[in-house]
Amino acid sequence: MTSVPGPESIDDLLARVHVVALPMRVRFRGVTEREVALVEGPAGWGEFGAFPEYDDPEAAHWLRSALEMAWQGPPPALRSRVAVNATVPAVSAGEVAGILDRFPGCTTVKIKVAESGQQLVDDVARVAAVLQARPDARIRVDANGAWTVAEAAHAVRVLDQAVRAVDATRAPGTGPVSLDGQGLEYVEQPCATVEELVRLRARLAADGVHVDVAADESIRRAEDPLRVVRAGGADRAVVKVAPLGGPRRLLAVAAELGVPVTVSSALDSAVGVAAGVAAAAALPGVRSGRDGAAGDGAAGDGPGGDDEIPAAGLGTGGFFVEDVVEPGVFSLVDGCLPVAAVAPDPARLEGLRACPDRRDWWLDRIRRCHDLL
């Protein structure tokens, strides 16, 4: 792993660490409390929040990202704000409107689908509820690799038709509907493996279903993050700062991928989200998938002409009951997050401090991961 600026010693690093536990409004990724380790360096704050099930070699990339932000700071920005998508977990249709209220001004919505214990009809109902609340929203769905190729081909067709329907409140099978509306922007990680994604793209093309396939886990958890695109398994890429080892590594991977990228977060605190915003703000402008039209994303205000980017998946702060900054300090305005340094509020660091045994667990993990850098 390439070197990165950092502390003079592991003891210096550990002395700078604050471990916090953030209570969540809804269960997400199977948890109701999110633990992260925050570290203050000479250039600002970084976040180490690799999920507990990740082994040390994978988690070490997340630590590298934290050290880059804390000791090197963000890369130069091309824009002063970044548009983000709203994110709707696999909740009931009746809960959708309340969740969307946490994402003021967002015109793109990512909807979780293929949840264990649910059926496709639940996903369709969730999509319909989103379109009832925000009729003009651009819709993405995320299956987290849960479908087989056959299941994905069927589900993508059905969900695309649900989005295209002019009257989104009509239930499937109740008579002919017009499909003149815009379809799904993309389906994120519909299948688990690169080989399945390649087969799915071919199947969708053969079926006349024109929906982009975006790879997430096939990039952020892969030894070779470029493989899925080289193999023809993705029209787009969803990339996260921490799993790739920092914002500069993300920018390098994005340039090599050669497809439109969506910068996303990994259920981060405001500190981690700010790192994602910094990476998205440094991306050169791109154009969206199959039709070549500009993405519904962050309108750039920096140099370089058309520097619009797809709406980033960085609006996850609304899932926390409490975060490490005061409400309003780093929040959505007209569907955008500001490009700005974020420093935790000292009182919140104290109030959200994890219990001693969990702090020790994180410090031990940092020691092991630091040895791998």
Reported as a single tens digit per residue, the pLDDT across 23-69 is 998 777 778 899 999 999 999 999 999 999 999 999 999 999 999 99
Q: For position 273, what pLDDT does the model report?
A: 98
How far from chain centre, in Å, is Cα 297?
14
Tell me how many degrees the CA angle 43-55-47 measures, rounded to the nearest 5: 20
Q: For position 351, what pLDDT does the model report?
A: 98
Q: For position 224, what pLDDT does the model report?
A: 87
Kindly report, residue by residue over 132-161, the tens digit of the pLDDT.
999 999 999 999 999 999 999 999 999 999
Q: For position 223, what pLDDT does the model report?
A: 82
Q: Calculate the CA dihedral of residues 14, 15, 17, 21 and round it to 10 degrees.
A: 100
Mean per-residue pLDDT, 242-254: 96
Closest CA to 267 of 127, 94, 62: 62
CB 155 within 8 A of CB 162: no
Q: Is the pLDDT of residue 306 over 50?
A: no
Kindly report, residue by residue over 250-263, the tens digit of the pLDDT.
999 999 999 999 99
Q: For position 307, what pLDDT does the model report?
A: 55
Provide the annotated active-site residues: 112, 240
Give me the percent of the chain exceeding a pLDDT of 70: 89
Q: Look at strands 236-240 and 86-88 and give their pairing.
A: unpaired
Other beta carbons less than 10 A from residue 208's beta carbon:
7
pLDDT tier at 286 (50, 70, 90 boundaries)? low
Identify the bridge partners of residue 262 per DSSP, sorted by sequence position. Answer: 238
* Higher pLDDT pick, 182 / 142: 142
CB 244 within 8 A of CB 259: no
CB 137 within 8 A of CB 130: yes
Mean per-residue pLDDT, 329-356: 97
Q: For position 176, what pLDDT does the model report?
A: 53
